[in-house]
Amino acid sequence: MLRGSVCVQRIVTVLALHAVALASGPAQCRAAFEGCLVDSRAEAMGDCWCVSDFSALSLAPVPPRGKGLEVGLSYRRPFGLSDLEEKEAAVNVPLSWCVGSLGFIQRGGGLYRERMLSATASAAVPAAARGRTREAAESPVSVSVSLAVFEVSVDGWESARCASLSVGARASPVSSVEVCVGLGNVSSSESGLGLRRTFLAGVLVRPHDVLSLVTEVRREPGERSSFHLGAELQPSRGVCLRCGLRTEPLELTMGFGVAMRGLGLDTASSLHTVLGRTDSFSLSFAR
């Protein structure tokens, strides 16, 4: 019995030291929030950030498609581990000249904890700024700027904080195609978090009213590019079926969504070839 207790204490100590290293060592810590969800719809479609309407939760923010009020709540348990559970909240508020987005994420809650609070402003680029042409007027372009504050803390040990500025854009050259780009961590404060710059590029195509296809690539300096593919099918009004694939790491994703009178419920499951399954749920309201 004593030997088992000593073994448990050693495991806890190793985990604590590992968490401290993540919080205090920039050489060992990748972007703490690199893999954070935007919402369950995004994860079900291959973890493609560019399909989400909650740009406040992204390291490379893409302007939301909608211009109205939207509220979203999400819960995620990576690989079934309660110590890594993620809780997220986001709201998009239409203002006189832009759409304002606020987002909050918390991962963990025991010994190791991560938090992110972000504010994003997204606005359409006036046609005059893109040239007074008919093509420019018919091809809306939106840009977004996001300021996020990150915190990684280990209870009773050490904590680190960092502020980061990110930018993104969304354009629709034709009615059935959207092109998205984003650059996370354009500028950041000095911190032990060691946040890396994230580049995002994505294309969303709607070959039919009930079908959406998306492809996205993300890259960080010194890392291999991560490719994402997703599809969404709407077999009936208010019901969506989704599936996707992502690399680095390799994961298969799937999920569904139900919407009625502005209320939406979305679920997603991703399967890692080694670590197992991750489930997430999102509730949303749009007006």
- For the chain, what is the radius of gyration of the CA atoms? 20
Residues facing 89 on adjacent strands? 73, 104
Side chain identity at residue 39, one-letter code: D
Of 1 and 23, more confident: 1
Q: Is the pLDDT of residue 235 over 90?
A: yes
Of the CATH numbers 3.40.1080.10, 3.30.465.10, 2.40.160.40, 2.40.70.10, which one belongs to the domain with range 2-286? Answer: 2.40.160.40
Q: Is the pLDDT of residue 3 over 90?
A: no
Residue with tokens 């939301």: 64
Q: Is the pLDDT of residue 2 over 90?
A: no
Grade residue 189 by pLDDT with cuts at 50, 70 and 90. Answer: confident
Residue range 30-70, pLDDT digits in tens: 445 655 666 889 999 999 989 988 887 777 889 988 888 99
Asked whether the beta carbons of 158 and 75 are under 8 A apart, the reply is no
Grade residue 138 by pLDDT with cuts at 50, 70 and 90. Answer: low
Q: What is the pLDDT of residue 36?
A: 60
22-25 long-range contacts (CB < 8 A, ≥24 apart) are 22/112, 22/152, 23/112, 23/152, 23/153, 23/154, 23/157, 23/158, 23/159, 23/160, 23/192, 23/193, 24/158, 24/160, 24/192, 25/192, 25/194
Q: What is the pLDDT of residue 38?
A: 65
Q: What is the pTM of this model?
A: 0.79
As a whole number of angstroms, the longest Cα–Cα distance in the chain is 79
Least confidently predicted of 3-17, 44-58, 170-184: 3-17
Mean pLDDT of 15-35: 40
What CA–CA distance (Å, rounded) separates 271 from 283? Answer: 22
Q: What is the pLDDT of residue 140?
A: 83
Residue range 104-129, pLDDT digits in tens: 988 887 778 888 899 999 999 876 55
Residue range 250-274, pLDDT digits in tens: 899 999 999 998 899 999 999 888 8
Residue 248 tokens read as 């680095």
Query: Which contiguous run of DSSP H or E holds residue 247?
Result: none
Side chain identity at residue 104, one-letter code: F
Mean pLDDT taken over the chain:
81
What CA–CA distance (Å, rounded) separates 23 from 43? Answer: 26
What CA–CA distance (Å, rounded) separates 68 from 125? Answer: 18
Grade residue 146 by pLDDT with cuts at 50, 70 and 90. Answer: very high
Q: Is the pLDDT of residue 100 over 60?
A: yes
Q: Is the pLDDT of residue 130 over 70?
A: no
Residues facing 169 on adjacent strands? 143, 181
In this structure, is the dihedral angle defined by the CA atoms of residues 38, 87, 116 and 252, taken in order, positive or negative? negative
Q: What is the pLDDT of residue 17?
A: 34
Q: Is the pLDDT of residue 28 over 50?
A: no
